[in-house]
Amino acid sequence: MDNENVLEEIRKHLEKNESRLTPQREAVIRVLINNDTGHLTAEDIFLQTKRYLPEIGLATVYRSLELLEKLNVVYRLDYGDGQSRYELTRANEEHYHHHLICVQCGAISEFNDDLLGDIEKQIAAESDFHITDHCLRFFGYCKNCREGRKKG
């Protein structure tokens, strides 16, 4: 599915929920489409949307992201550093999408794997807890930084 079709799907999804695909919201989505591995902060997105719409306000970016998150179009990530990051939600990916975060350079990479299916069943059985989502992050040193450390 190409980008224009993605946008068209999102437009329909918004309209189903009495919301419009305004130029501002479209700009936000385009930024996320063009940076789908970047895990952008609201500020990042704000600065990039200004290329399309110099008049856009930061509050509008936040409000757009809030709406799009509620409609499951974007996914909000939290690395515990005091700000949220955003990425497009892709169908089927949600449960198999985890992050590797380098504690030295901050680089974030991803891997997709159904690591937790069995674990969740076990927890449901043992803990009387009905799991609907999860968040799994690994911290450590990426290849680049490990090579740097060997030298230094």
Q: Which residue has the tokens 């999408």?
A: 97
Least CB distance to its own copies at residue 123 (A) = 7
In angstroms, the CA 46 to CA 72 distance is 20
Of 54, 55, 53, 77, which Cα lies nearest the Cα of 65?
77
In angstroms, the CA 8 to CA 84 distance is 26
Cα–Cα separations (whole angstroms), residue 52 to 8, 24, 56? 18, 9, 9
The partner in contact with residue 138, picked from DNA, its own copies, none with C-beta cut-offs of 5 to 8 angstroms by kind, is its own copies
Q: Does 115 engage in binding with its own copies (CB under 8 A)?
A: yes
The partner in contact with residue 63, picked from its own copies, DNA, none with C-beta cut-offs of 5 to 8 angstroms by kind, is DNA
Q: Which residue has the tokens 């450590």?
A: 140
Least CB distance to its own copies at residue 1 (A) = 27
Name the residues that contact DNA, by CB under 7 A: 14, 18-20, 22-25, 41-43, 53, 55-60, 62-64, 66, 82-84
The partner in contact with residue 51, picked from its own copies, DNA, none with C-beta cut-offs of 5 to 8 angstroms by kind, is none
